[in-house]
Structure formats: C-alpha cells, structure tokens
Amino acid sequence: MKTILKARNINKTYAQDKNNDIQVLQDVSLQVDRGEFVAIMGPSGSGKTTLLYAISGMDRPTSGLVQLDEKELTTLSEDELAALRLSRMGFIFQQSNLLKNLCILDNIVLPGYKANKESQDVICSRGEELLMQTGISNIAKNSITQASGGQLQRAAICRALINKPDILFGDEPTGALNSSATAEVLDILASINATGTTVVLVTHDAKVAARADRVLFMMDGHIAGEYPQEKYDPEKQDWKAREEVLSVWLSKMGF
C-alpha cells in the first residue's frame, strides 16, 4: 500500500523555563499507509498529542522530517501549511469547537467556503449529505446550544470532512462522550475509513483503538511498541472481542 504520511527522526523540545528544556519527542519515526486507521496510545504525558500535532503540521518539530505524500511539511511557510491543512487534512478534537453564532450546517460548510475551491452550492450539498450520513440532518439549522455532545461531535466530523481530506487526525475525539455516543462516533469513523480516508487518532481508550488497523504505543516520547490488527469490518467483527485482545497487549506494554 502507498505511504501517505512519513515522519523521520522527529524531536520536539519545549522550553520549560529560562534554564530548562524538556524533550518530549525523541527521534520518532513512523509511516502511515493510505487508507490505514492508526491509533496512538500511551500513558498521560508520553507525548501523544505532541506527536499528532507534529505529524499533522499543527506544530513544528524541533528537528526531523514530516512528509505528506511528496510534500515536506517542515519546509513550508505558515500560509502554505495552513492551506495544506485546509485542503488535505481534517481535524477532530475532544471538544467539537463549533462556533456559537452559526447553526450546525453553517459551521460544517465554513471550511469549504474558506478553501474557496468549489461553488457554495456544491459545498452546501456536501454538507447536507454529510449530515445525512452521520444521522443529524434533523438539526442542520439548529444552534449548537440545542445539540447533544454526541451530535456536536458528529457535526465536528462533518466539518472535518467538508473538503474531502485524504487524512483525518483526531485527538481524543470521543474523550468527552458517553459510551453510546462513543460507539456511534466510532462507527462513523470506521465507515469513513472504509471509504478510503486515512485516520490517525490519539486515544486513551482501548474501545477506540480496537477499531484501528494498527496501534502505536508511546512511552516517554518514543514509540515503544506497535500492535497490528486485522482490518476492522463493522459488518463482521465484534469490536468488544478485539478490545479484549488489545487490552492484554496494552497491559504487557505497561498501560
């Protein structure tokens, strides 16, 4: 399978105070194939979010290389990087971060209007289609204050997909949801992945990682282990059984 994302020897150092630096990523290398679903797990403070930000161009590593297909992210200007993120990447976070003064549909289409590559009609129809696919068409015109956490997170997924990204990054996207909303959001992510979008998620939750093709386990700023799983098929597979097997590996890793 063709590699979509490649990181080579990434280091990230933060200045802690005047005299001290803290090295959060230590020589991390990884590769993600097009269409793959990768989960990044590990203890709190091990560097998962820092790694996600470094490989998605949301932050710059102190050293090392990050490539999305042929594009070397670390050589791009801020404007070039922002344009690349807008057109080729989607992002979801623990909180939906939707704008309060816009209805759900307007929140979703906004990055499409910003990218300015297609007519507003085309973007609006895609927004409506995404709302339908994620089961929230009925709240398209609602204010975000009238939606549940699970509905808001589905809307955030629609917003992340509006520009048809090649790769979707998530930082604890189900971290604030109850278990039934988590399962619904995970089904949506699995179906997005099944249609070819690459997915890379940071999670503490083995339920989430159970859907991935591969789990990377971070410890003290490096990848300490890697756990490949069979491609998840929502029609055939029971993710609870996968979660149990994965949990055994995670506990061997010291999680």
Ligand X SMILES: Nc1ncnc2c1ncn2[C@@H]1O[C@H](COP(=O)(O)OP(=O)(O)OP(=O)(O)O)[C@@H](O)[C@H]1O
Please give the residue ranges that form the binding site for ligand X (CB under 6 A). Answer: 14, 22, 24, 42, 44-50
Which is nearer to ligand X, 115 or 219 (by Cβ)? 219
Q: In whole angstroms, how close is the CB of 82 to ligand X at the nearest point? A: 19
CA distance 146 to 47: 35
**DSSP secondary structure, 70-89, as one string:** TEEGGGS-HHHHHHHHHHHE
Q: Return the closest-CA partner of residue 208 out of 173, 178, 235.
A: 173
Q: In whole angstroms, how close is the CB of 49 to ligand X at the nearest point? A: 3
- Where does residue 70 rank: exposed (0-12), middle (13-18), buried (19+ CB within 10 A)? exposed
Q: In whole angstroms, how close is the CB of 129 to ligand X at the nearest point? A: 33
Which is nearer to ligand X, 95 or 237 (by Cβ)? 95
Instruction: List strands edge to edge, sheet with 71-72.
Output: 21-33, 3-15, 63-68, 71-72
| CB-CB contact of 40 with 200 (8 Å) | yes
Q: Return the closest-CA partner of residue 55 out of 31, 77, 87.
A: 31
Q: In whole angstroms, how close is the CB of 218 to ligand X at the nearest point? A: 6
How distant, in Å, are the alpha carbons of 28, 68, 158, 167, 204 from that of 4?
A: 17, 6, 22, 8, 24
Which is nearer to ligand X, 45 or 254 (by Cβ)? 45
Which is nearer to ligand X, 13 or 67 (by Cβ)? 13
- Which amino acid, 52? L
Q: In whole angstroms, how close is the CB of 24 to ligand X at the nearest point? A: 4
Please measure the distance between the N-terminal and C-terminal CA atoms of the chain and give it in whole angstroms. 30
Sign of torsion over alpha carbons 199, 65, 47, 17: negative
Q: In whole angstroms, how close is the CB of 249 to ligand X at the nearest point? A: 18
Which is nearer to ligand X, 25 or 86 (by Cβ)? 25
Which is nearer to ligand X, 113 or 255 (by Cβ)? 255
